[in-house]
Amino acid sequence: MSEPPVAAAPERRGHRLVTAIQRRSVALLMFAALLNYMDRSALAIANPLIRADLHLSIAQMGVLLSALLWTYALAQLPIGALLDRVRPRLSLGVGLAFWSAAQACGGLVSGFGQFVAARSMLGLGEAPMFPTAAAVVRDWFPLHKRSGATGVWNSAPALAQAIAPPILTLLMTALGWRAMFVTLGLAGFCLSAIWVFAYRDRRRHVARRSQAAPVAVWSAWSQLFRQRITWGLMAGNFGVIYVLWLYSTWLPSYLEIARGLNIHKAGLLSAVPFAFGMVGSIGAGMLTDRMGRPGAPAIRVQKAIVSISLVGMGLFTFAAAQAGTTGAAITDISAALFFDGAATGIAWAMVSTIAPPNLVGALGGIQNFAGYLGGALAPMVTGFAVQATGSFTLALGIGATIAFASAASYVLMVPRSPKMAEQLA
């Protein structure tokens, strides 16, 4: 009986090592994204207590709720470009520590101005999270497995929004809102240390430097804005994040105002649609990888799924505006967020598919900048629409229209052939 080649055993060991790094990396990214959205949710959960304790008006609380989104969006452009010059181990490790310090400071503030500053710094610290995650997937996963990996870590925000209300309310009830902020900050410091200790940068792990991507230059970053595909990703992600933050900021109030539910029941029912968002993210990633194959242009499958998902978001958001019962509304919103989770995950997978290795962070930051302009506008536009009309019908209709327009941007501006994507190199 012949023995296997001598090189087979080292090759198998190398494959097992890479597989272990892949699983560890995705798990760590998922925990980081989970904490990211738990930190974002803390202010909304503690809203009544903070307003009473710091004597804030409704208008001041509105400014406070949006402070994170504006700095987060504006930081995406410079941070995204910087991330291609800094390895993920450092970028996410420092980002986690920075945003955790800002979160902890939120529990120590004594007034409105200090709280706005703390929330603004939280948005700045969180800016590297998603572009870094896209870079990690690009570094460690082959093309035909990136959508599935992205779908897993990207499911964490939906999971966080489903579990944050009961967990943070329990923590706040037991310790107070200030201690809740500090505790979340301490958890972030611990996770930052774990990331730095456990994650391995691809460029250090690979023996030959020739296999590492060249360092990006600033001129390459500016060239991205000359590509039609970049503007397609920006316009598409604008709608994805707009609809997400429409529901993230207004769903409990919608259930209270439009459906007449009490605060407790509205909070519990609000968790249901976001659980569907988690399923959508994981399911779309797995489906995309299954439909693709090694050597095939993955962008074709990704483009089709994200476009279909945006159409689904629009249809079910429009249906929610017309729903006659609370049960029908929850069903429609759950379906809309299922498709939103699918679209979000595939949008990030497209970044790691389209961009050259040395421009993943830059393209991811640009896409996320446009997305969070939509995220920052959604609660404001919704608030004005509800105030002007006395109902959520117009606000949901606007969200549905934006979703349809974003689907069209993917269809018309994102190519099916990866050859056009190579122009970014």
Per-residue pLDDT of 168-200, as tens digits, reads 888 888 899 999 999 999 999 999 999 999 998
Taking the model in full, what pTM does it have? Answer: 0.81
Lookup: tokens for 301: 């499958």
Q: Where are the alpha helices (H) located in 292-413, listed in sequence order?
A: 298-322, 326-354, 360-389, 393-413
User: What is the pLDDT confidence band of residue 126, given thresholds at 50, 70 and 90?
Assistant: very high
Looking at every residue in the chain, the average pLDDT score rounds to 84
Angstrom distance (rounded) from CA 410 to CA 65: 30
Q: What are the boundaries of each domain within the chain? A: 14-199+216-424
Mean pLDDT of 256-275: 82
Mean pLDDT of 34-41: 91
Q: Does 81 score more than 90 pLDDT?
A: no
User: What is the pLDDT confidence band of residue 266, given thresholds at 50, 70 and 90?
Assistant: confident
CB distance 134 to 348 below 8 Å: yes
Per-residue pLDDT at 203: 62
For tokens 């994507």, the residue is 421
Q: Does 210 score more than 80 pLDDT?
A: no
Angstrom distance (rounded) from CA 293 to CA 54: 56
For residue 285, the one-letter residue type is G
Per-residue pLDDT at 212: 47
CATH code linked to domain 14-199+216-424: 1.20.1250.20
Lookup: tokens for 4: 């296997």
DSSP 261: -
Per-residue pLDDT of 360-405, as tens digits, reads 888 888 998 999 899 888 888 888 888 888 888 999 999 999 999 9
Q: Does 101 score more than 90 pLDDT?
A: yes
For tokens 């007449």, the residue is 260
